[in-house]
């Protein structure tokens, strides 16, 4: 009979708080600042506000000499490109068209990195919940990340198609509300499905995941 191994990942509340901070820092804050400054000033003020937030987030980590999450680097680099197009064209439509099209780019990159030992999705997952090496080195876990990358590719393709449709039809305010709510609802569903799938794969490999310190989990 296979002996089960229990791996403790720390407090669940800390992981959720960590993920919420990343979401706020990389998406909600720059998006909210853009809309606020666009309403109060103009497109130039909105572009500067959103990009300044991203630069401050990166700069703060450099000053503190703390690791910069991969997702923050990725979103900041893409925001620089978006801002350059926004300044060059003066078009809000083209500014928001870029992240819409980036959904298709993300899907392509996820599929392209599937053959790698550590697909891109596995690296991004470490920003939200750092898995121990004893877990990530297992062939079954590596196979899971390759397969779940395809699931997330479908998520990004769906988000890209729906936001492209909304961008062409809705006002800016309605577009931001509808696409943000719709996109992150889909992402949340996919995240829960991925977690359930992950735990099932680990059970098949004789591993149980437990949140909280070992002493608490044993009670």
Q: What is the pLDDT of residues 162-174, one digit of tens each?
A: 888 888 888 887 8
Please say if the pLDDT value at position 43 is more than 80: yes
Summarize the confidence of residues 4-23 as an average pLDDT.
Answer: 67
Contact criterion met (CB below 8 Å) for 3 and 206: yes
Q: Which residue has the tokens 């928001």?
A: 96
pLDDT confidence band for 184 (50 / 70 / 90): confident
- Return the HEC string of the chain: CCCCEEEECECHHHHHHHHHHHHHHHHHHHHHHHHHHHHHCCHHHHHHHHHHHHHHHHHHHHHHCCCCCHHHHHHHHHHHHHHHHHHHHCCHHHHHHHHHHHHHHHHHHHHHCCCCCCCHHHHHHHHHCCCCHHHHCCHHHHHHHHHHHHHHHHHHHHHHHHHHHHHHHCCHHHHHHHHHHHHHHHHHHHHHHHHHHHHHHHHHCCEEEECECHHHHHC
* Residue 124 structural domain: 5-218
Q: According to the model, what pLDDT value does residue 49 have?
A: 94
Please say if the pLDDT value at position 217 is more than 50: no
Contact criterion met (CB below 8 Å) for 114 and 149: yes
pLDDT confidence band for 192 (50 / 70 / 90): confident
How many separate domains does the chain show? 1
Listed range (5-19, 37-51, 134-148, 181-195) with the worst mean pLDDT: 5-19
Summarize the confidence of residues 44-50 as an average pLDDT.
Answer: 93
Q: Write out pLDDT tens, residues 103-130.
A: 898 899 899 999 887 888 887 777 666 6
Contact criterion met (CB below 8 Å) for 217 and 11: no
d(CA 96, CA 167): 8
Q: According to the model, what pLDDT value does residue 219 have?
A: 42
Cα separations in angstroms, 94 against 86, 142, 159, 183: 7, 38, 17, 19
The segment with the largest mean pLDDT, out of 23-37, 39-53, 176-190, is 39-53
Contact criterion met (CB below 8 Å) for 212 and 205: no
Q: According to the model, what pLDDT value does residue 92 have?
A: 86
Average pLDDT, the chain: 82
Instruction: Give the pairing type, strands 5-8 and 207-210.
Output: parallel
Q: Which residue has the tokens 């044993």?
A: 218
Contact criterion met (CB below 8 Å) for 25 and 57: yes
Q: According to the model, what pLDDT value does residue 167 have?
A: 85
d(CA 171, CA 153): 28
């Amino acid at each position: 009979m296979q002996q089960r191994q229990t791996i403790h990942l720390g407090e669940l509340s800390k992981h959720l708080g960590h993920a919420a901070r990343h979401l706020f820092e990389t998406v909600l804050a720059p998006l909210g600042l853009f809309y606020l400054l666009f309403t109060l000033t103009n497109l130039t003020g909105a572009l500067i506000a959103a990009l300044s937030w991203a630069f401050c987030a990166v700069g703060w980590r450099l000053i503190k000499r703390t690791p910069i999450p991969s997702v923050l680097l990725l979103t900041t680099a893409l925001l620089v490109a978006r801002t350059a197009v926004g300044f060059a064209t003066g078009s809000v439509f083209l500014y928001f068209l870029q992240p819409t099209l980036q959904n298709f780019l993300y899907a392509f990159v996820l599929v392209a990195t599937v053959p790698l030992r550590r697909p891109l999705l596995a690296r991004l997952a470490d920003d939200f919940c750092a898995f121990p090496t004893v877990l990530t080195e297992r062939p079954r876990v590596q196979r899971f990340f390759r397969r779940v990358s395809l699931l997330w590719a479908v998520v990004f393709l769906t988000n890209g198609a729906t936001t492209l449709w909304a961008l062409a039809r809705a006002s800016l305010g309605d577009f931001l509300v509808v696409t943000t709510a719709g996109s992150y609802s889909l992402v949340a569903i996919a995240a829960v499905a991925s977690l359930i799938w992950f735990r099932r794969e680990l059970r098949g490999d004789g591993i149980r995941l437990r949140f909280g310190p070992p002493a608490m989990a044993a009670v």
